[in-house]
Amino acid sequence: MKNTTLTRILAAFVLAGAIAGSYAENPVRLDNAGRLVIGDIRFSADFWDGKRNFIQGRDKEWRVTDRKNDDSGQWWREGLLSLPQDAPVPFTSQLKQSAPGVFTYDMTVDKTTRDFSFRTSLPGDVFVGRCFRLDDQELTLPLEKDQVEIFSGKAGNIVIPCRDGVATLECKDAINVRIHDYRPRPNHFSMLLSMPKVTPERSRLSLAVTYQRYQATPLDLRRAANMGFTDDTADDGVGGWTDQGPENDLRMLPTGRQRFRGTDFAIIDPQSNDGKSCIALAGAARTCFPASAAVELADAPRGNWLFLLHASAWGSSSQDLGHIVVTYQDGDKQDIPVRYGSDVGNWRCPGACENGEVVWTGENRSAFVGLYRSAYPLANKPIKGIAFKSSVHAVWLIVAASVGEHRPPRDMSAPFYIVANEDWQPIDFAKDVEPGSVMDFSWRLDAPAGKYGPVRIRNGRFVFNERPNQPLRFYGTNLCSGGPYTSKEWAERLADRIAAYGFNVLRLHHHDGGMVMKDNTTRLNPETIDQLDYLIHCLKQRGIYITTDLYISRRLPKGEIPEYPDVLSDITAYKAMFWLLDSVWHNWRNYCENYLNHVNPYTGMTIKDDPALISISIINEGNIKSCWAANAFTRKLYEERFQAWLTHHQLDDQGVPEQRNRLFERFLTETYEKRFAQMTSFLREQGVRCPLSDQNMGTTLKLSQMRRLYDYTDNHGYSSHPRFAAKSWQLPSLVTQRSAIGSPLSLL
């Protein structure tokens, strides 16, 4: 008996949950208070007494006394409304479904002469920029507020773009409609519909409601797919994804039918398609990828819009990412340009573009990643086939494509302004710390830097030569690009600021291009090297040590490297050629000789002899496996040298890709280690005594083996790598709001 009772109770709970779930999943429904819910908006009856609103949903005033839902698609609520100085008056709300997505709604308030309206609040950060239709008039909610009243007039047909579909409200007779902009306080738009009087004591609003979900037909790209999402071995030419190894792939992306922001996509399961799940097209960093892919579409889909789920890798200064060529069954062709930075951006640390909304995000072992949805207008006629053609600048990664009748609205970013008032007070954002204040951490420093002699490594720890039993910890920041090149006054101020922050080391970074002559980048620029010298002097006085690299982003004029046919502005190409070309090796040596042997007039010594220099990471992020295919020139160079290496060693890959990859990795390792031995020997001959390191990014097993040669390992992890709103490496910049603590850095 007890078991039977328990079974009935559990069954009742399960049934109630199933019913509640079915109603919750219906995009059009009545909530428990009797309010009309359509997609992501909610309508409420409302009365304004001249002082405040009496909005449906407040239990003390709009008290529901009875509610019914049934499986035939009917919702019904009745209750009593309490108004000031009035006896409670009855209200009813009813919703009936006559077909999928088709409803009739009726709201009645009886036994009162008061006037009522039907209203909804539209969140400003969601609905800004969306286009409504009122009869034949289109109305776009403005990005910036101009005036409170946006629309006031009559309409009998109202079309509302919701996030997942289009809602249409239709009245038999036109009613008064008002749309207001109440931003920024509160941050919403308001839509009010009048509830007509059918008798002096009855207000009634009857609506025909339709809701059409955005529909999109996924295109079958399986035959064009050439990459999987998972990559177990970096730079083997096999992939998948960007061929950067298990730290940096897209294995976490869900496959199968997926709906992202109102668009349906079919993401290929690689296990059902011979390991292939996406299209990866060539860019300068991956010229081994195919430059194009095409597929015939047997089902001849059609629609007004083509939706692409895609991303790019290794961004380019060129906006020309590639083209989409749509071939229709009548023989017509449509060429659609795809623009980097406007239609799509980088898959790592993604940010929205003009026609590229980030609709899916995830995390791999090294970064926050995402995919973009771009929309392109089509001629609405049957499609025979579609082709994707890369311009071979950035790598183009195509995950899925669909066609549909309607374009879902994208979430817009409206300008947001804060002005001084009683809630917001201006603050002088002074970066200089008050000396001796609680925020002044300069007391942690032991000035001057270098007082205990140069840094050495003992038992796996940094120590000073004259304090060998006291392990060291360094905590600091980067000073990049033009930062070191400033007036003496600002150098003093900057050094004070860095000391007050408690930093005891500064990394000079991306500064090498600023300290040399433009016509010969191995020669020092007297003006800027003097500025750098004085800054180092100021830092040293305050107990701040220095670490740096000997190649970061020094860009060379045409002719400085004889074999290279153009201006060498591609820093990754310089790094790639450095390991193979003696001309680049000598260019680097000449620069280093001039820099390392230059005497700083303010410290009285060269940088190589200064004990304030704690370490050098020789070539910044110059990992040979990551940079060898920087562009077509370097890729050809490496392929030719590899073939010569095979011949010299009498080796044959026997036409087996896996064997060729193993041999190529051996070739890269031998090439790198030969040059690394030359680098360290040269630097020691120059008198450099500080610890040396190299290949300062990545965590593969092969890197761990190669790093056995280093004095210490320097590795880079990014929680918020710089992104820029307009031009690359130019302000304004964009800053993520994600926690650095929770971001995967993949340092170990």
pLDDT at 416 over 60: no
pLDDT of residue 15: 34
Confidence of residue 561 (pLDDT cuts 50, 70, 90): very high
pLDDT in tens, 224-240: 999 999 999 887 778 79
Q: Are 208 and 222 within one domain?
A: no
pLDDT of residue 418: 67
Q: Are 109 and 221 within one domain?
A: no
pLDDT in tens, 425-481: 888 877 899 999 999 999 999 999 999 999 999 999 999 999 999 999 999 999 999
Q: Is residue 131 part of a domain?
A: yes
Q: What is the DSSP string of 493-514?
A: HHHHHHHHTT--EEEEES-GGG
Confidence of residue 317 (pLDDT cuts 50, 70, 90): confident
Q: Is residue 579 part of a domain?
A: yes
- Domain that residue 265 falls in: 216-404
pLDDT of residue 14: 37
SS3 638: helix
Q: What is the DSSP string of 18-75?
A: HHHHHHHH-SEEE-TTS-EEETTEEEEEEEE-SS-EEETT-TTTEEEEEEEEETTTEE
C-alpha to C-alpha distance for 627 and 580, rounded to whole angstroms: 12
C-alpha to C-alpha distance for 226 and 242, rounded to whole angstroms: 11
CB atoms inside a 10 Å sphere around CB 200: 7
**180-194, 377-391, 525-539: which range is least confident on average?**
180-194
Beta bridge partners of 151: 179
- The rounded mean pLDDT for the chain is 91
Confidence of residue 413 (pLDDT cuts 50, 70, 90): low
pLDDT of residue 96: 96
Q: Does the CA dihedral 462-465-471-474 come out positive or negative?
A: negative
The DSSP letter of residue 367 is: -
CB 166 within 8 A of CB 214: yes
Q: Is residue 30 part of a domain?
A: yes
pLDDT of residue 225: 98
CATH at 540: 3.20.20.80
pLDDT of residue 658: 80
pLDDT at 415 over 80: no
Closest listed residue to residue 588, CA positions, set 601, 572, 569, 575: 575
Closest listed residue to residue 455, CA positions, set 442, 429, 473: 473
Average pLDDT over residues 290-305: 96
Q: Are 128 and 276 within one domain?
A: no
Q: Are 273 and 313 within one domain?
A: yes
pLDDT at 746 over 70: no
CATH at 296: 2.60.120
Task: Report the interhelical angle of 526-541 vs 488-500 (nearest 10°).
Answer: 40
Average pLDDT over residues 141-162: 95
Q: Is residue 41 part of a domain?
A: yes
C-alpha to C-alpha distance for 34 and 56, rounded to whole angstroms: 8
Average pLDDT over residues 211-218: 96
pLDDT of residue 428: 82
Q: Are 377 and 501 within one domain?
A: no
Q: Are 227 and 176 within one domain?
A: no
Closest listed residue to residue 346, CA positions, set 255, 283, 271: 283
pLDDT of residue 527: 98
Q: Are 369 and 496 within one domain?
A: no
pLDDT of residue 742: 66
Closest listed residue to residue 499, CA positions, set 446, 548, 542: 542
Q: Are 228 and 268 within one domain?
A: yes
pLDDT in tens, 354-373: 999 999 999 898 888 999 99
pLDDT at 10 over 50: no
CB atoms inside a 10 Å sphere around CB 314: 16
Average pLDDT over residues 184-206: 95
Q: Are 116 and 197 within one domain?
A: yes
Beta bridge partners of 455: 464
pLDDT in tens, 166-175: 999 999 999 9
Q: Are 480 and 580 within one domain?
A: yes
Quote the percentage of the chain above a pLDDT of 90: 76
Helix (H) or strand (E) run with residue 507 in it? strand 505-509
Helix (H) or strand (E) run with residue 157 in it? strand 149-161
CATH at 28: 2.70.98.30
Q: Are 228 and 203 within one domain?
A: no
SS3 4: helix
Q: Which residues contact 213 (CB under 8 A, 6 or more apart)?
A: 27, 101, 164, 165, 262
Confidence of residue 9 (pLDDT cuts 50, 70, 90): very low
Q: Are 167 and 257 within one domain?
A: no
C-alpha to C-alpha distance for 474 and 614, rounded to whole angstroms: 10
CB 331 within 8 A of CB 272: no
In the chain, the number of structural domains is 3
Q: Is residue 561 part of a domain?
A: yes
